[in-house]
Structure formats: C-alpha cells, structure tokens
Amino acid sequence: MIRPLIAKELRDQRPFLWLSVFFLAVEVITSLWTEPLGFSPYAQTFVERFKVGGDLSTMTFVLAFALGTGLLVREQDDRTLEFLDALPTSRGMLFSVKLGVALGLVLLYPLGLTAWTLVEHGLSRTSLDASLHVDLLVVGSVLRIIQALAVLALALALAPLRRLSWTALAVLMLALSLWQDRVPWLAALNPLQLTAPEFEGTRWPWPVEAMAVQLGASGVLLFIALAQFLGLGQRRLGALLRWLQQSWMSGVVSLGTLGLFIAVLARVLGPPPGGADGGAADERPRVRFPTSTVAQAATRYYRFTYPAELRHRAGPLVDAADGVHEQVRQFLGESPGALIHADLGGSAAHTGGTAYWNTLRMDLAGASDAERASAVLGHETTHVLAHRLVGVASVPKLSRMKLLSEGLATYVETRFFSPERTSDYQLIAAAARARREVKIEELLDPERLAADRDADWVYPLGRAFVDALVRRHGEGAPARVLAAIGREGAPEGLDGALAWQDAFQTAGIDLSQVFDDMFAALDAQVAAQRTLLDSLPRPRGVVERQDGRVAIRARLDKPLPSGWRVVCRFRRTERAESYELDGPYAGEGPHWREATDISEGRIWYQLGIQGPESLILYEPWTLVRVK
Amino acid sequence: MSAALLRKEWREHRGALILLNVLFGVLGALLVLNEARYATHGTLMEVLKIPAVMLSTAAALFVAHRLVTREYGQRTQLFLESLPLSRASILATKLLLGGGVLLLPLVLTGLALWSRARLHEDLSARFLLILGLRAATPVLLGWMFCALAGLIGRYRNPLFLLLFLALFAADRLTDFDLTRVGPTVLLGSDFAFERQHFPWAALGLCWAAILGMAAVCFGLVLHRDGTLAELLSQRMSHREKVFIACICVGLVVVISVMDAAKQRQPFTLHDAEQALAVGSPVQVSSGVGFSREDAARLATRLANDLGALSRYLGLERLPAVAVMPIRELDADVFQRAELENADGVVVRANLADPAFDVRDFEAFLFQQVLIWTSKGQVLREERRWWLDGFTAWWARRDEEDPRLSPRVAVASRDDFDPRAWLTTRERVGPCLAGALAARGITVLRSQLDEEAFHSLARQLLAWPPGTGVTGRLSEPRLEDLLRARGLGSESELFTRWRTAASQDRAVHAALLEALSRLHPSLHVVAESQETFRLEHRLRGEGNTPAGRYALLSQNLGPFTAEVAPYALSRQDAVGAEDAVILPQGLARGERWLFVMQQERPELGCPVRLVAERREIP
C-alpha cells in the first residue's frame, strides 16, 4: 500500500519537485555555462552557500514551509481525505508517507546543491587543500535534514491556521529575535541558525544541544500536527479555528503582528537594558535634577542653542564662532551659505560632536576649555561645509569615504585650532605604521577597518593623508576632490577604491602618489619616534573563569611607560557599530563578562594602551570561543 | 464620495483602523519619551522618518488589505455596485479614507515631536511645511501603490516581485541610482535638516506617480463595468504560482549573467606616463623617489617586453596595464588590485626602493597578464609551475642570471613535487619558487629546439579559454604535449629537473651548509583554556650567528588555499637563545600559517626556514 501512496504524494507535489529541480538546474547550468571548471573550491562556495541567509538555508526554509502549510490541510479542504480514509491504510501511515515524501522533496535542492558543491571542490582541489572534507558535508547535510524536518513540523503545526500561518511564522520569528538578546540560548530554537558553520580549525563540531532542541521541538510539533490530522479533539479544535477565523480576529492578529513590529522598534528606540548609560542594571538610588531651559544665540553664520546653565562656557565659543567659520570657509574656498544650526547640548555616544546637513551637535559640557570647544566647532563645521561642497545627494558617498571626510576635519582642527594635538595623532599613526598595520585596502573600507582594527584610525591616518594631499597639491586640493565627488554626472554605484579613484582622477590628483607621500611621512615619524614606539608594550588577552563567569585579563610583553594604561573593550558581533561597543574599561583586568554579554559562546575583545592625552592605540580585535 | 459610504466603511473597519492609530500613538509616545536617543540622529524631528517609513509600507499594506483587497478579493464590491452608487465614488471613498487614516498618526506624531523639539531648536513655519510635505508624500505614495496592488488581485505579489526585479536590474545593468529618485530623496539624509529649499523635483515626481496610480485604480475599477477587477480577484492556481516563481528566478539569473558580461571599460590612470603594447596602454605613475622620467622609462620597458611576450605567445589582445608605486609594500612584494566595473591589470610595487628588482617585477606582471588573457585558467595547479617558470625565465631570457643557480639550490634542498606546486610555493616562497620553476623550463628548453619550445609555450599558456566540461576537456595537458614531442612523460621530465637541481646544490654546497646550521622553532604555549601565545626562536649551531629574521603569520579560514605575500603580517626579530613572543594572541580552534624567513642578499630572495600551517588545539 505504501508504494501507491508514495506515488500519489509525488504526483500531488509535482510542482515542488519541478521547482526544486529547476532551481538546482539553474545553479548547475549557470556554473557550467559561465565559469571554467575547477576554480570553485570550498573557499569560494562553502561558507557563502551554508551561511545563515545563504542559498541553502533560505531555500530550505521557504520550500519546507510552503510545502508544509498545504500538505495536510489541502486534503481536508479538497475533501479528498474521506477518499483516503476508505483505503486499507491508517491515517498514521498516511501522515508518515506524506511527511517522508515532503521531506525528500524539500531536501532535493539543498542536498543536490551540497553534492554539486562537493563536485566543484573535487575538481578544484589543490595540494594546499586536498581533502574533500566529506566530514563537513556530512555534518552540514545532517543538520540540513534536521532543519528541514523542523521547518516542516512547524509548518504542519501552523497549517490549520490556513492563511494566518505565514503571519504566525512572522510573529514567532520576530518574538525569537526580540528575546534572543536577553536569553541567548533561545538561538538554539532558530532552525536557520542550526546550519550556520562554526569551525574549529577544519572541523565542524556537532552542535549537540541545538540538535537536541530542534529534534525535540520537531517531535512536539509533529505530534500536534498528527493529533490534528487524526482528528483528536476535532470538535474543540474546529470551534477554536472557527473562532480564530472570524473576520475581526484576523484583524486583531494582523494588528498584533503590526504591534510586534512596533514593539521591536520600541525596543530599539527605548532605553537600553539597565538604563540610559547602557551598563548593567543599577540598583543605586537615582538623582534627577530638573531639566534646564534652553538658551539661544545667533551669530552671522550660526544659530546656537545650549543649556542655559552653560552660558559661561557658551559665551567664549559664540564669540569665537564666526572666526572659526571664516577660517574653515576660506580654507575650503566655500562661499557663505545658509546658517548652521548648532546644538551644544550633547553629541552621539563616544563622540565630541556630530555633523549633519547644515546642522551640528556638540557636547559643550564635555569640552575641557574654550580652545577645545573651538577646535570641535571647527572640526564639525568642516564636515558641514564639506557636505555643502559635495551636495546633499552625494553626502552618503562622502560619508563612506571616512578617511577623507574625518581626515579633512581633523586636519583643519589640528592645523588651525589645536596644533598641540598634532603630535598625539602622529604618534598613533606612526605606531600603526611601525606595526605594518596600515593597509590601503582597509583605510578605503571603513567597515573592514572597524571590524579588524579601530574605526577611529581614520582620524590620525586621515589627518596624515590630507596633510600629504595638501603638501603636494596645495590647499585647494581637498576642495577640488570634494567638488569632484559631488559633480553632476558622476558614475553611480561606485564604491570603495573605485569611488576614490574616480574622485581623485577627476580632480586631477594621483591618488597613489598621495598615499605614497603619506607613507613616506609615516616612515619619517616612525624614525623620529622610534624610541617611544619601541617602549610601548603589546597587550595579549588571557581568558579567566570564576563562578561561571568569564573574564579577559591583559598580559604585557614589557612594562608600560609612565602615564600609560591598559584598556579593554568588547563587542557582540564582528560588524557592531561604534556606539554598540562596550567599553573601554581601564586596567589590565580581569574584565568580567556576564552570560548575557556573551552571544552564541563568543567574546570579541580588543586590548589597547591609552596615552596621557587619552588617545588609545588598539590591538586588532580578537574572537575567542567560550562554553 | 458620499457620507453614507464613508459611514459604511468606518463601521466596517473602525476597530482595525482605531487600533492602528493607537499603535502608532504608542510609537509616537515612545519616540517622544526617549529623546536621548535622538543624539544619534541630530534632531528630534529626524525620528519622524520612522513613522513615515512604517506608514508608507507596512501600515499602507494593512490598510489596503482592509479597505481594498478584502472588498475586491471577496467580491463584496458587487453588492455595493447594486446600490445607487457609482464605482468611482466607492473607490474614491476608500482611497480618501485610507489616506486620511494613514496621515492622521503621522500628523499627530509630528505635532508631538514638534512640541518637544521647539524647546531646543528653532523651527520655522517654512521648515515645518517642508518637513510635512517630505513626510506625507511618501506615505500617500505607499498607500496608492498598495491600493493599486490590492485591485490587481492575485497578481499583486508577482507585481511586488517584478518591481523588485526591475529595480535590481536597473541597479546592476544601468547607472540608475534609487537613492536619487523620488521618495528616497524625500526621506534622505537631509530630511530634518533642510530648512530652506523645497525638493520640488522629487515632490513632483511622487505626486505624478500618485496621480498616475490613482488613474490606473479608477481605470481598473471602471473598465468593462468592473469585470476586470472581478476577474483579477480570483485565486491563483498552484501551477500559476510555480510558473511565476520560475519566471522570477529565470529573470534573476539572466540579469546576473548580463551583469557579469557587461562590457567593462579599461582602467585608466590619470597623470601617468604611458606607452602602448599591442594597442593596449601601459601606464606607470610617478611617486616619492620615483620621478616622471623613471616612470616613463619603466612604461616603455614594460610595453616593449609585453609586446614581445604577446608576439611570442600569439596573444591577440592585452589588457590595459597600470603600475603604481607604493611605499607600503616591501621591495620584493607585488600586489594586484581587484577591479570592479573596470577592466585591466592594476598592480602596485615599491618602485622606488633600492632593493626593487625590475625583472622580478616583470615576471610578476607577465603572470598577471597571462592570468587575464586566460581568464584565470593558467592558475590550475598541475600547470602552475609552467606559469611561474616561464615568466621568470622570460623576464631574464636575454642574459644569464647569476643568482638562478644558488636560488635553485636553496629552493630544492627539500624534495619538491611540481604537481603540488602551491605547496612548494608556500614552502619556499614565490621568489625561490619562480627560480626553481625557471630551472625546469631551462631543462625543457635544453631538450627542444626553439620552434618546438615556442609551440609548447603557446599551447600551454595561450590557448583559447573555455567554460564548463567542454572547456575543461579542451585544455592542453603537459603529459600529452611532451609525448607528442618525444620527450617521454611528465615524471621523466621531473626526474631530469631534479637532477639539474641537484647539480645546483652541489655547486652551492657551502650556502646550503650555512642554512642547515640555522635551527628555527615555533611553539604554541597555552595561557588559558582558550588562549595561547606563539613563541618563536632562531638559533645558530655552535658559534654561527643566527642573524635577523622575520616571522610572517596569517589567520586562515578552514579552506584557505594560497596566501598572498602581502596578506601576511610581519614581526621582525633577531635570532637568539631567548624566544620571541608573537604580539597577537591565538585562540583555540584557529588555523594559522607561520613562516620564518631570512633575507639573503646573495640570493636577492628571502629564504623561508619554516613554513607550516598549524591548528591551535
């Protein structure tokens, strides 16, 4: 009886069969048609296909859920279940056959593509990576089977909701992402995470806990689906479903989904866990003073707003503001434009000021003196005027060229308003060069620079870059480059090195020559500060444990010079934004991490040394896996 | 529009619409109450973008589903049409109600934000009007689009998909930039900061789109007495869904293939000295310590040598070549750039360094050109030694290189397998590997006349590249070519090669003896359960001074094959009894490549004393 049932199921699910075969064929034929055989090793294909959100996970999820939602309910809706009941077989057998056939169809594409990945690697192997890594593929395939089973089970359990099943899926996924930050082990419930490769060397260890959770959850969901299919509690379930399917209920459910979206947003927009400081929950008594009134002041080029109690600090700044503006404006060759709105009440985390279109914000309270405040004003005013030079449409492009934008602002700041800081920036730049860590590809890719080293390197190295640019091509060079960035008819879609090359070529400047000059200047600085640079230690991290907590302690290879100290900071993910960084914390440690701070068993830490003038020289980011 | 219709719609949907406004009221309250967050946005009014985006997308979809999709999907509009009401008025009522429901929370949120922001900022009426138009227009655009999609019925999801694909195609195949069009301009980076100028172009485009879509909506509803809308509302069959899915996937593949095949412009270098090689430009730019005259000389030389190589191998076309000086690299490290949206070979080298060897650089450049002409297929490992050896030999074909023999001696002090050439390259380094391969070429040349060698070189390095199985089958095989010329098998050639290398070793025994007295060591020491340090040391035997050396390192992925020299981090050290610690901490589970190498002036190449891949246990 089983064979006819299988044949019947295959016939019913033909569209999914064709779809899987089609997708697989497209993948294989495209490779064969457009690429030479033997140049697709795992280095190029494995992680790309197996990662969360890659082809395999996405297609498995979509196919499994789409197939599963219709697998059983279609028989009920089309009334063919009564016919099947007349056959000499049980509903349990029907259920098993359906599940087996559906699982096989869902796995056709991912396992087929996995096999093709193996074939491609087999043809592309070299002596440096001669193994077929079949063990990795076995782990990946088994996890893929469990993933498909879990998604199928979920789809079968939600299928009675009919059209609301996709809505319910969205609700569940959102709820999971909402709570995962606070309860990290919930990641084990996410079937997409199950097949994300986690390598230890060339091994992919079995994620036993996640597998157990997924298999357990699949069992429960399959039991629910089977119970519904067998008609257990049919009357009550029918009544519940009729109640759920009333028109107002669908509205409530839909709005509930919308509400969940907003709840997620609220979580993003609301105060961070533990309070506005972002630290751990604080149980000390809180003191809150009344908010002050806001004062305003207008000059020829600015409109200032600031907390009234800072009027003594704001006064010198307001008096000096137009002079600052004139100096920056003349350097950039920009004509006077609209007023700049300057809010002196604060800035983004980890910054002294931030600039927007015709607007800037500054932390006046954080500035140590009037000169420092003028320097920050000059820095941010440079950004605002640079935005005007490139035009509003090209501001995002300029923002991605951080080495240039921040370098220009820092150059203006140190040249005209705080020359005493030049030596601090030069020290950081020289140290990076001495370590051979200044790489042009990273400087032109701010995200990569932030992920591997320190996003703030754009300040000292950008300053050195603009200094080299001005020395060789004159003071008008930065403005020419900015004008080239914002010119009409600039090619769209350029990014990274190409955007730089396009802008500098249009401005009539050889970019590689500017970098050459920069490196020459850095080498000269290295030579001049060799003694100090050689005296600076390089901290390494050591993991310590106590009472279930994990800490990072710094170890130094030589003593710290006087006035220097070790710092440590952390992040949750490789691509965390600068305002998401935790720290820096001073001292050699141990710097303890709570379980909620450790995402998926990983700690990203970065050690550095902080000089007397507060600039920090960081080591590269390090990832360590802890259980 | 009639009041009765409005009342009917309101009665039918008031629950959902009220809840929608309540939810956005909660959102607005959250935005206002968490003012501290706006420090990352610049002004509190900037957060008005959030409800604007949500109302123009998710909320518009929801309202359209309630007001339009349900009505026309369940065909209850047929009942309404039986009443003394025109179809136009029915639709107009729905469109106006939906627009009003979506704009209300936007206005209320805006007012709430304004009431707080005015305490900190100067908000003029003009600015508020600009802001209001910039926020409301995308909401109305989103609402009209979703309403139109609702009227299209079962093809609304394919419509969304096709729209996405069209944008994808426009982005990949043309210079179209979505961020400079219509609603994205209105919600751009100057959303809450532009206080003077109305973005009339973007507003006009959006309003035109709104009116156009409204016209299409009315057209759908009124055409053929509304039967078109009724037909579209029927459910899609399973086959239709699969068919549309296949169409969409096929379109994605076609677009990707077209993008890959898109003609790329040759890379041009501004203000560089230029010469021509077979009609293709060879550009060299000047730099610090490398004058324009030096650049011109180098450009001429490279163009002449590339032209000769092209004639020798019968290459029909050469890439545009750009050479840029850069002090970042060591003298013997050369780097090729990855190009997007441009074509050619762009390389960098420390041209001004006294230790820079133009012939070694030429060998590297010739390799890159041949990789370009063969679309990468000369990199196949079984044939890779040919690429290294031929280009190294070609760069020095005019004169005997006195350093070739000692380089070969050092490179071959351990046995080597030409079929596992990448392993050999990693073990001895690219410079010595090139010399070793050049010895193989000279051995082969000694057994062939010039014409036969010439023909062999053309077949191995300049065959027309193909794709797929046929391309693979048509690739020349060295074994077949050797047998055709009566030179026996590859193995026999390799045996002769090793014999020649052993003769080099015999001549330079003293050099090998000196190297054998150096004892490098690498130790991974655990500092905790998860973290380790690397201790490295170079000792000389007896009284032999170890001298300076460098530790090169790279954190490898699980499948990393060849590591380019410029990707290796470097720590310089002096050989001594005490170990030196690598500053970088190592974590359990990582894979690293460690190389200890020493400069040898007599060779002009660094010698790799140790090169091994280690997994941190």
Of the candidates A259, A294, A542, the beta carbon closest to that of B528 is on A542
For residues A145 and A105, give the distance between their C-alpha atoms in angstroms, rounded to a whole number. Answer: 11
In this predicted structure, the answer to whether residue B237 has a pLDDT above a threshold of 80 is no
Highest mean pLDDT: which of A66-75, A179-188, A248-257, B354-363?
A: B354-363
Confidence of residue A291 (pLDDT cuts 50, 70, 90): low
Beta-carbon separation of A505 and B270 below 8 A: yes
At A463 the pLDDT is 97
User: Distance (Å) from the C-alpha of residue A419 to the closest C-alpha of chain B?
Assistant: 26
Backbone angles phi, psi at A203, to 5 degrees: -105, 150
Task: Kindly tell me the sign of the dihedral angle through the C-alpha atoms of B330, B333, B339, B343.
Answer: positive
What are the sequence ranges of the domains in chain B? 3-261, 264-373, 384-508, 517-615
Q: Which conformational region is residue B539 in: left (phi greater than 0), alpha (psi within -120 to 50 degrees), or beta?
A: beta
Q: Please report which confidence band the pLDDT of residue A354 belongs to, taking 50, 70 and 90 as the band edges.
A: confident
* CA separation for the pair B511, A107 (Å, rounded): 60
Phi-psi region of B549 (alpha: psi -120 to 50; beta: other; left: phi over 0): beta
d(CA B64, CA B50): 20
Considering only CA atoms, which of B127, B126, B134 is closest in space to residue B106?
B134
pLDDT in tens, A197-232: 888 778 898 988 889 999 999 999 999 998 888 877
Does residue B131 have a pLDDT over 90? yes
Summarize pLDDT for A242-257 with one digit per residue, the tens.
Answer: 776 666 766 676 666 6
Residues B460 and B312 sit within 8 Å (Cβ to Cβ): no
Q: Give residue A284's pLDDT.
A: 52
Contacts of B242 in chain A (CB under 8 A): 15, 18-19
CA separation for the pair A379, A398 (Å, rounded): 16
Q: Express each pLDDT in A76-93 by its tens digit.
A: 777 777 777 777 778 888
**Interface contact A513-B246, CB threshold 8 A:** no
* pLDDT higher than threshold 90 for residue A174: no
Q: What is the pLDDT of residue B207?
A: 95
Chain B residues whose CB is inside 8 A of the A349 CB are 39-40
The proportion of chain B whose per-residue pLDDT surpasses 70, expressed as a percent, equals: 94
Mean pLDDT of B236-248: 76
pLDDT of residue A276: 43
Q: Which of A380-384, A410-414, B241-245 has the lowest mean pLDDT?
A: B241-245
Show Cβ contacts of residue B298 under 8 Å, excluding neighbours closer than 6 positions.
B273, B284, B323, B351, B358
Q: Measure A505 CA to nearest chain B CA, in Å.
A: 6
Residue from B44, B238, B292, B328 to probe the interface with A (highest A Cβ count within 10 Å): B328
- Reply yes or no on whether the pLDDT at B586 is more than 80: yes
Q: Mean pLDDT, chain A, as a whole number? A: 85
Average of per-residue pLDDT across A317-324: 92
CA dihedral A108, A112, A114, A117 (to 10 degrees): -160
Question: What average pLDDT score do residues A297-317 get?
Answer: 86
Tell if the CB–CB gap between A262 and B26 is shorter than 8 Å: yes
CB contacts < 8 A (A, B) = 309
Mutation for A interface: B327, B333, B535, B592, most A CBs within 10 A: B327
Per the structure block, which two tokens stand in for A5?
């049932």
**Of B82 and A514, the one with more pLDDT:** A514
Distance from CA of A298 to the nearest CA of B (A): 11
Label residue A577 by pLDDT band (50, 70, 90): confident
What value does the mean pLDDT take over residues A268-297? 57
Q: pLDDT tens across B165-189, in order?
A: 888 787 777 766 777 778 888 998 8
Q: Which residues lie closer than 8 Å to B17 by C-beta, 6 or more apart?
A: B10, B63, B66, B101
Q: What pLDDT is recorded for position A326?
A: 95
pLDDT at A352: 72
Top-confidence residue, B164 or B41: B164
Q: Which residue has the tokens 């030096």?
A: B294
- Judged against a pLDDT cut of 80, whether residue A239 lies above it is answered with no
Distances (CA, A) of A532 to A110, A423, A435: 57, 13, 13
H helix intervals, B269-412: 292-313, 358-373, 381-395, 404-411
The predicted pLDDT at position B534 comes to: 94
Q: List the single residue in B with minimal CA-CA distance to A337.
A: B196
Nearest by CB: B585 against A35, A520, A622: A622
Enumerate the residues of chain B whose CB falls inside 8 A of the CB of residue A23: 249
Tell me the per-residue pLDDT of B14-70, one tens digit each, with 9 for 90 and over: 877 888 888 888 878 777 776 665 656 678 888 898 889 989 998 998 899 888 888
Cβ-based neighbour number of residue B15 at 10 Å: 15
pLDDT of residue A289: 61
User: Which CATH number applies to B517-615: 2.40.160.20, 2.60.40.10, 2.40.50.140, 3.40.50.410?
Assistant: 2.60.40.10
Closest-CA distance, A130 to chain B, in angstroms, reads 10
Percent of chain A having pLDDT more than 70? 89
pLDDT at B429: 93
pLDDT of amino acid A292: 65
Chain B residue with CA closest to A293: the answer is B119
Question: Residue B41 has what pLDDT?
Answer: 66
Contact B608, B597 (CB under 8 A): yes
Q: Which two tokens stand for residue B370?
A: 């041949």
The SS3 of residue B589 is coil
Whether residue B332 is predicted with pLDDT greater than 60 in this model: the reply is yes
Residue A273 has pLDDT above 80, yes or no: no
Q: Are B558 and A199 in contact (CB under 8 A)?
A: yes
Cα of B50 to nearest chain A Cα, Å: 9
Domains of chain A, start order: 2-264 (no CATH), 294-533 (1.10.390.10), 536-625 (2.60.40.10)
The residue type found at B325 is: P
Average pLDDT of A451-469? Answer: 95
**pLDDT of the residue at A278:** 43
| Option in A343, A392, A523 nearest B190 (CB) | A392
Number of H helices, E strands in chain A: 25, 13
Q: How many CB atoms lie within 10 A of CB A233?
A: 12
From chain B, pick out residues whose CB is under 8 angstroms from the CB of A619.
583-584
The residue type of A407 is G
> Counting beta carbons within 10 angstroms of the beta carbon of residue B358, is it exposed (0 to 12), middle (13 to 18) or buried (19 or more)?
middle
Query: Any idea which of A340-344, A347-351, A412-416, B153-157 has the lowest mean pLDDT?
Result: A347-351
**Contact of A358 with A338, CB cutoff 8 Å:** yes
